[in-house]
Amino acid sequence: MTLILDYEAGNLASVRRACAHVGLQAEYCADPDQLRQAERIIFPGVGAAGSAMRSLKQRGLDEALREVIQSGTPVLGICLGMQVSLTHSEENDTPTLNVIPGQVRRFAFDRKGLKIPHMGWNEVRVLQAHPVLAGIEPGDEFYFVHSYFPQPASRDAVLAVTDYEDEFACAVGKDNYIGTQFHPEKSAQVGLRLLANFAAWDGQC
């Protein structure tokens, strides 16, 4: 069973719909024991880092997530769901799950002409081949909406990058965990391709 982590009763229908479109039937889940039984997990983002971590902790989902990631279950984090996999977020000064050592930082406000949030379509450049990123060609664009971005401590965790203020990591990963800053569920055909790749991924790189 594929589970979509629904930790804040958020609007996750678009993720579920896009999964269904590529043949991946996914159920919502807010229960840590159910999460431990999952075959694969999608962890979308809703709200802000501070409230997301509070909700995860209240439900015991933070521990369950660390466990399932440790045990080799394929996990895909999307946007805020990816950001909380790092060690710390500048958003609400929040300690996060520390699956991928590193920081989540805010884009600087002060540069002329730079709009926050980074919203729209932007190019994703794959730096490290990965089964979930297979088929992404140079020039392919994905849809982004965010004001914070991940900065892994190790370059090894950076799977793909995008240019905005400067180059930033738009896909991070480690073993059976992968997270994207962009929204595959809103990224047309290339996004669906990524979700189909994830549906077929065994968690090995």
Q: Is 58 in the site for other proteins (CB under 8 A)?
A: no
Q: Which is nearer to other proteins, 189 or 204 (CB)?
A: 189
Q: Is 170 a catalytic residue?
A: no
Where would I find the H helices in the chain? 13-21, 32-36, 49-58, 61-70, 80-83, 188-200
Is omega for the bond preceding 101 within 30 degrees of 0, making it cis? no
Question: Does 24 engage in binding with other proteins (CB under 8 A)?
Answer: no
| Smallest gap from residue 205 Cβ to other proteins (A) | 26
Q: Is 187 in the site for other proteins (CB under 8 A)?
A: yes
Among residues 9, 20, 10, the alpha carbon closest in space to that of 185 is found at: 20
CA distances to 69, 81, 109, 161, 200 from 24, rounded to whole Å, are: 20, 19, 39, 27, 9
| 25 is an interface residue for other proteins by CB under 8 A | no
Measured from the CB of residue 74, what is the shortest distance to other proteins in angstroms? 21
DSSP character at residue 175: T
31, 63, 90, 141: which one binds other proteins (CB under 8 A): 141
Residue 133 CB contacts under 8 Å (≥ 6 apart), including other chains: 126, 159, 160, 171, 194, 197
Residues that bind other proteins (rule: CB under 8 A) add up to a total of: 29
Asked if residues 200 and 22 have their Cβ atoms less than 8 Å apart, the reply is: no
Q: 19 an active-site residue?
A: no
Choosing from 79, 91, 118, 146, the catalytic residue is 79
Q: Does residue 161 touch other proteins according to CB under 8 A?
A: no
Annotation says 8 is catalytic: no
* Nearer to other proteins among residue 13 and residue 127 (C-beta): 13
* Residue of the chain from 6, 62, 91, 185 that contacts other proteins (CB under 8 A): 185
Q: Compute the Cα dihedral for 148, 154, 159, 164 and give only its sign.
A: positive
Instruction: Name residue 140's amino acid.
Output: D
Q: Which residues bind other proteins (CB under 8 A)?
A: 11, 13-14, 17-18, 21, 47, 115-123, 139, 141, 143, 145, 163-164, 185-189, 191-192
Active site residues: 79, 183, 185
